[in-house]
Amino acid sequence: MIEKGNIDEMLNGYIDGELSTRQMTEIKRLIRNDQQIAEKLKELQKCKVLLQSLPKEQAPAGMMDDIKAAMERKTLLSSETLSFDQQQGSKHLILRKIASVAAMVVLMAVLGAVVYMVVAPQGRSVEPTVSEPIALAPTEPAAVVTTAEPAKEAVATVEARPFYARLELKTSQLESIDAVIKKSIAEAGLTNKLSGASEQSKGLYVISCSSQNLSLLLAQMQRNWNKFKAPTLVVNSDSSDKQIKVKDVTTNQIAEIVGSDTLEGSLETAREFALLNKSGIGGLLGNQEMIVDDSTGNDLTAIPKRIPKPKLTWDEAAKTADKDSESGLRVYLTIVVEEIQNDNE
């Protein structure tokens, strides 16, 4: 059953022609069968007809002109507003430009500060300054580290600590030995590594070079090593008041000592050779490959068990030196040749 409200809407839809075919059929049936609905339909139709009968009024003449005039007024007003807006816009634009410049200045300042913090300290960083070791027992200079440098720099400086040593040689033929040593230095290409004072004097050679270059020199000197008496390598240890003396040192031992990657390694090697040579084993082995064997029956409990690194030949040393002449530990070696009266002394 259709509700009254719905019937009214359907009756309106019926007179307006807005019903579907099914609705139209249903409402027609209701109209036929229900007198009240039929009366209602007539009332609604009367209302519709009454309103439809109202005269259709024409728009006033000159509507088009009025619209155009209104548009012109609007355009004029909007152009005035635009002019005002443009003035405001110019001011706003200037302010924005000033703000942009200020922002850029601040940004540049911040960037500059960041770059200064990152780059400038590195630019100002001073290479570890080392005094030229012209003294026989040069004091190991402290690496100069500016307080502004980051901790990383300090670590790098510590790792780059040089190796200081003094090689003491004795001979009764100072003239010829001096010539031999200088020739060896020249052949090793270390003439430019020699301090100025060394070139003038006899028996004193202060060399500043890499461990690789020193190996080259040692390879040259090995040929005449038997002309030296009691060669002793004096190594400055960590503590400046303590020295490691490696007596009867061989060129291979020196090469191995300076061949270590770190200063600590070199000092440790020097200690071991000092102990070995003191016990006489190192002297017996001389420049031969050293093999430690407990089966010999010797009391080697106090002697470190070590397998030395393979020794460099002249060619190998030269190749390595050519390839990376400045690599390895930085070595400051002072060679002191003391003249003695005769070989028997």
Partner 1 sequence: MTETANIDAHSKWSSGKPVSIDDATLVKRYRHGDSEAMETLIIKYQNRIYNTVLKICANPDDAAELTQDTFVKVIEKIEQFQGRSGFYTWAFRIAVNLTLNYCKRGVKIRFTSLDAEIDRADSRVKGALRQFLTDDNVTDPARIAGTNELGELAVKALMALDDTHRAVVVLRDVESMSYADISRVLEVNLGTVKSRLSRARNNLREILEAFLK
**Of 45 and 224, CB closest to partner 1:** 45
Nearer to partner 1, 44 or 137 (CB): 44
Number of residues that this document lists for the chain = 345
20 binds partner 1 (CB under 8 A): no
Among 3, 35, 36, 64, binds partner 1 (CB under 8 A): 64
Identify which range of 9-17, 125-133, 198-206, 328-336 contacts partner 1 by CB under 8 A.
9-17
DSSP calls for 195-223: -HHHHHSSSEEEEEEEHHHHHHHHHHHGG
Q: Does 48 bind partner 1 (CB under 8 A)?
A: yes
> Cα–Cα distance between 236 and 239 in angstroms, integer?
8
Distance CA 148, CA 126 (A): 11
Nearer to partner 1, 63 or 98 (CB): 63
Is-contact 139 332, C-beta < 8 A? no
Quick one: which of 29, 32, 42, 223 contacts partner 1 (CB under 8 A)?
A: 42
| Residue 113 in the binding site for partner 1 (CB under 8 A) | no
CB 257 within 8 A of CB 244: no
Indicate the residue among 50 and 291 with the shorter CB distance to partner 1. 50
Which string of x and - marks every residue 162-181 that binds partner 1 (by CB under 8 A)? Answer: --------------------
Give the pairing type, strands 163-171 and 330-339: parallel
Closest CB 28 distance from partner 1, rounded Å: 17
Torsion of CA 214, 215, 219, 220, to 10 degrees: -20
Nearer to partner 1, 11 or 290 (CB): 11
Q: Quick one: 72 exposed, middle or buried, by C-beta within 10 A (0-12, 13-18, 19+)?
A: exposed
Binding footprint of partner 1 on the chain (CB under 8 A): 5, 8-9, 11-13, 16-18, 42-60, 63-64, 66-67, 70-71, 74
